[in-house]
Amino acid sequence: MLRKQLGFLFDTNRCLGCRTCITACAEEKGLPIGVYLRNVELHELRKGAQIIKYYLSTACNHCSNPECFRLCPEHALRKRRDGIVLLNEERCTGCGICVRGCPFKGVAMNTLTGKAVKCDLCQEKLDEKKLPVCVAACPVEALRLIDISEVESRNLDIVRRLPGVAKIQITRPAIRYLPLRYGKQVLRL
């Protein structure tokens, strides 16, 4: 059996781009104003006459092979047995190498403490069998918590990348997507 790897399953067909996940997380973590652990990006691309438009919400992808882990000179990062990548604030000196080095913008600088800060998948909540805050706060269940290895073994209809998003697989990010669907568009004559 594959090793457990918790991560996100993201449904682009549901995400509203409403950013509730971002502020719900910031509120839970008590982050200073303007510091967020999640990021929502708009993607717009043309496909023939149609316009594909969707939002992508990402935080730390809890990679199997985390770049932050490799870069941190203080060895402040570690990976739990369930795959969660954790940052030890006591070891962090705030050098910002991980903030700049993460290919997913998954690490932020906490302006209050001067140290790096990142998503910990709400590990304390998980230990209490509760959902991470972003997952619970999403009004349309666009974000789900999954065990990547378990989901992949079940061969569900999920994909590793979305149209218009750079393919970065070297760190083996623990995020999967439901394939993007789009309806018929009648654009103006």
Partner 1 sequence: MELTYSNVCPSDCRASCRIKTKVRNGKIVGIKGDPLDEYTKTLCVKGYAQLNKVYAPDRIVHPMKQNGKGTGRWEQISWEQALTEIAKKLIAVKKRNNNLFPVCLNKYLGNMGLLSKSIEGFFNSIGFITKMVGSPCVATGVSALNLSFGKCKKPFPEDMLNADLIIIWGGNPAWTTTHQMRYIFEAREKGAKLVVIDPVLTATAARSDFYIQIKPGRDLELALGIAKVLLDEDLIDRDFLIGYSNGWSEFKALLEKVDLAQIEAITDISVVEIRNLARLIGNSKPMTIWLGAGVQHTATGGLAFRVISALSAMTGNIGVSGGNIHYATFEAWEFAGEFASIKPAGTTTSTENKGEVHGHRYIGTGRFAELMFLEPPIDFLWVAYHNPVAQAPDSNAVKKALDSIETVVVADQFLTSTAELADYFLPVASHYEYEDIVVSYWHYGAAINQKAIEPLGESRSDFEIMRELAIKLNKLSPGFSSFPVKRLASDWLNLEMEPQYPRLGIADYHELIDHYRRVDLAEVPWQDKKFMTPSGKYEFPLELALGNNDLYVGETGIYPFRLLRTRNFATHNSQYRVSVCMKGLSEKTRVLLHPEIANLIGVEEGMKVKIYNQLNEIVLPASLSKSMPTDIVVVYLGCEFEQEFEFNSIIALVDTDLGEEYADGKGLAFNDTYVNLVRA
Which residues would be at the binding site for partner 1 (CB under 8 A)?
13-14, 16-20, 22-24, 26-28, 30, 33-36, 44-46, 51, 53-55, 136-141, 182-189
- 115 φ, ψ to 5°? -120, 160
- Structure-token pair, residue 123: 């590990």
Task: Compute CA distances 17 → 71, 119, 123, 154, 181, whole Å.
Answer: 31, 19, 25, 29, 16
Pick 56 or 72: Cβ nearer partner 1: 56
Pick 108 or 174: Cβ nearer partner 1: 108
Nearest approach, Cβ of residue 48 and partner 1 (Å): 13
Pick 35 or 145: Cβ nearer partner 1: 35
In sign, the C-alpha dihedral spanning 6, 74, 25, 123 is: positive
Q: Which amino acid is at 15?
A: C
